Structure formats: C-alpha cells, structure tokens
Structure 1
Amino acid sequence: MGDDRTDREPLPEDDAEPLVLSSPEQFKALGHPVRHRMVNVLRQRPATLRQLSAALGMTKGTAGYHVRVLREAGLVRLTETRQVRGGTEQYFALVSRGFKFHKDAQGGAELLINAALGEMLPSSSGQSEHTVLRHLWLTADEAQALAAKLRAQAAEPAPHDSSRGDAYGLLVSLYRADIPSLDRDDCH
C-alpha cells in the first residue's frame, strides 16, 4: 500500500540494561507531566507523532515538541521511517525499556512520586482504594533484604497489552522515615 521502509533500528531487548539517568536534561525531560505520559505510551510500542498526538489528545506540533525534548535528552530515538502517500512517517521509541537513577543523582524519588501523583486516577465509585502508607521498624540488614525483594518484584516484566485491562502503576519506595522515637516508658 505504498509503505517502503527506508530505515529501521532494532528495539531494545526486554532484558537489556536500563538507561542510567544522570543529566539535568534527562530529569527535566521526564519531570514534565506530558513527557512522562508520552514515555508511558512509548513503553507499549514505537509510535508516530500522529499516533502520539491522538493517544495524548494534543496537536501534532505539541507532540513533536515534546518528542524533540525527549530525543535531545537521549531518552527517545527515531527507530523507523516509512514513505507514505504524502510524505515520510517517522516512528519513535524509547532508547531503553527501563530507566534507573545514577547512584549520585539527586531528586529521583521526588520525580517518581510526582510522576505517580500525576498519573494517579481517582477511585471510581465501588472501587477500593489501593494506596497504603505503612511504617516498619527494621534493622539495616532487614531493610536491605526487603529492598532487594521489592526491586526483584518490581523488575518483573509486565505485558504491554492494553486489551488485557486497565493499566495500574506500582510505586515502590523503601525509605528511612523521619519519625522521632519516644523514650522508653518505664511505667508500662
């Protein structure tokens, strides 16, 4: 039907190492709510500007601007071009299936929490609330062991098939909490 592929790059493998985020440009790019949503859409598959603009409810020009910011930050790349009637269609994809923060990066937790808050939909009537905050009293070794279990659970690949149901986010954070301790109560 007139599709003649002129350029095609392989997609990242599911087991490929995540991209390590370290530059201010990367944090700024991912910190914008529209670009965060765009990254979530591109986790499903490569897409054109037309497809991104339709999925995100924006103009093609706005989608193009945000893709350019993500490309300049090294988070998105051009994977394929196709000759179509009336011009060339470009497909964009994430450079990596996953991202992780550099060990010295500041603000990673804040970026993730803000991203989760930005994509969190309110509960529908009759739907139970799934958000819970708990505090655990752990030794350093127990905290490390629990963090390793949580990382392993969160690292399991998730299917990107929207026909299977609604998307749910999982924000896992084990952090030292600023909760003062009471002195021992000798009366009880």
Structure 2
Amino acid sequence: MDGKTPDYELEDQLALSTPAQVRALGNPLRTTILGLLHERAASVTEISTAVGRPKSTVAHHVKVLTEAGMARVVRTRRVRAIDEAFYGRTAKMFYVSLDSSEAGNGETPTDFNDFEVAARESRPAYSEGQLWGFIRHARIDERQKKEFWRRMKALVEEFDTLPRRGDVVHGFAVGVYPIPDYPQLPRDTE
C-alpha cells in the first residue's frame, strides 16, 4: 500500500439527509464496518473475519449501508468462478443534515450518539489508565460555536487520513453541546 488511505476513490463528505441513512449509521456494527472500510476496500468475508461475526450478518449490514448510499462496490475479483465484491465507503466523512421538517417527525433514532459509543469503547482504556481526554465549559455565542466546530471537524478529517500503522486502533471523540442549566455568574456590569 502506498500510504494512501483508503485504497480507492471516494468523496470528502456526504450529508445524511434521510432518517433511514441516520438509522443505518446508528448501528455499532455498521459504524465498525465503515471504520474498517476507511482503511481499505474489503470483501464480506474479510469484514466477517475482522469483526468475528457470521458472513450472513455482515452481508446484511453491508447491504443496509449500500442501500443507504454509504458503501458501494469499488472492485471485484474472480474466485472459483464467482465474482467477489470489495466494498468501500462513499465518503471520508458522513454528517447528519436533516432539514427541520424531518428532524421533528420522530423518525430519527434517539440512540444515535457518538459519545455513548465512545463511553462504551473507552471503558477498558479508562480502567487501564490509557484514556486521555479533556472536558471544558465556556459561554460562547453561535458564531464562536460554529467556528470551533469547523476547526474540530478539520481535526477529525486529519485523524481520519493518518496512515494506518501500529497494532492498536485508537478512538478519537470530539463534540460541542449546549448545557442550558450549567451555573453561570451574572454578567459583569463594568
């Protein structure tokens, strides 16, 4: 491999604009599959071996991702008179972009939360003293929040494009969220 990650062409970003796409991304096995495909294209057999799940289960989840437009066949090879498909992601980064008419209709899964996934995944690292993280709170306006999010997104994109090496996969979680009931000092009158 020439260091290019992944080993096929794909878009930089894809807006997930339907509840079905968000639901597809909300499954932990499917997000794991997309993570594996960020490294290189893979067959259902290879993915099945990597995740330790039956090929039929992996094939189902790959089909869901394909139907949602997040995965596609990027190449095939002939194996004993059968064409084996290799799947890749359709974009380096997926982001949720539901319009306001869809967002409030109850179709978006309520359990779609990257921080919940990060909390579950990081528990063993915390127990072993290997979890590094920060949490900070600041009163900022909407413009500052959007600018900070843009910078965090660039950092995530940088993390996504790091050459794959080493023996351990590391997680990286970032976020900005409002806390309406967080204590605040009264505004300074001077």
Calculate the TM-score normalised by the size of structure 1.
0.76
CA contact (8 A) 1:12 1:97 kept: no
Assess, with a 3 A threshold, how the Cα gap between structure 1 residues 125 and 79 changes in structure 2: closer, same or farther: same
The 1:68/1:59 distance shift into structure 2, 3 A limit, reads same
Q: Distance in 2 between matches of 1:63 and 1:128?
A: 30
Shift of 1:45: 0.6
Among 69, 73, 80, the residue aligned to 1:78: 73
Matched, 1:28 2:33: no
8 Å Cα contact 1:36-1:115 kept in structure 2: no
Quote the Cα distance in structure 1 between the aligned partners of 2:136 and 2:39: 32
* 1:149 lines up with 2:151 in the alignment: yes
1:122 equivalent to 2:124? Answer yes
1:3 counterpart residue number: none
Give the CA deviation at 1:80.
Answer: 1.2
State which drifts further: 132-141 or 165-174.
132-141
Give the secondary-structure state (helix, strand or coil) at the position aligned to 2:83. Answer: strand
Quick one: distance in 1 between partners of 2:13 and 2:180? 31
Deviation at 1:151, TM superposition (A): 2.7
Check the 8 A contact 1:29/1:73 in 2, yes or no: yes
Distance in structure 1 (CA, Å) of the matches to 2:89 and 2:185: 51
User: Can you list the C-alpha shifts for 1:99-155, whole angstroms capped at 9, x where unaligned?
Assistant: 122163746994322333344351266534313322123344543443333233223
Q: 1:60 to 1:144 in 2, by over 3 A?
A: closer
Counterpart check, 1:64 vs 2:32: no
Match of 2:93 among 93, 98, 101: 98
Aligned-pair CA distance for 1:55: 0.3
Is the contact between residue 73 and residue 86 of structure 2 (CA under 8 Å) also seen in structure 1?
A: yes
Larger Rg belongs to: 1
Tell me the distance in 2 between the aligned counterparts of 1:150 and 1:165. 26
How far apart, CA to CA, are the structure 2 residues paired with 1:24 and 1:139? 29
| Alpha-carbon distance, 1:66 to partner | 0.7
SS of the aligned residue for 2:23 comes to: helix
Query: 5+ residue gaps in structure 2?
Result: 1-6
Corresponding residue SS for 1:122: helix
Quick check: 2:93–2:157 contact (8 Å CA) kept in 1? no
Instruction: Assess, with a 3 A threshold, how the Cα gap between structure 1 residues 76 and 118 changes in structure 2: closer, same or farther.
Output: farther
Within 5 Å, give how 1:41-60 maps onto structure 2.
41-60=36-55
Q: Which moved more, 1:50-59 or 1:19-28?
A: 19-28
Cα 1:118–1:182 change in 2 (3 A) is: closer
Q: Which residue of 2 aligns with 1:166?
A: 168
* TM-score normalised according to structure 2 size: 0.76
RMSD: 2.9
Runs of 4+ aligned residues of structure 1 deviating over 6 Å after TM superposition are: none
User: How many Å separate the matches in 2 of 1:158 and 1:126?
Assistant: 27
Q: Secondary structure at the match of 1:99?
A: strand
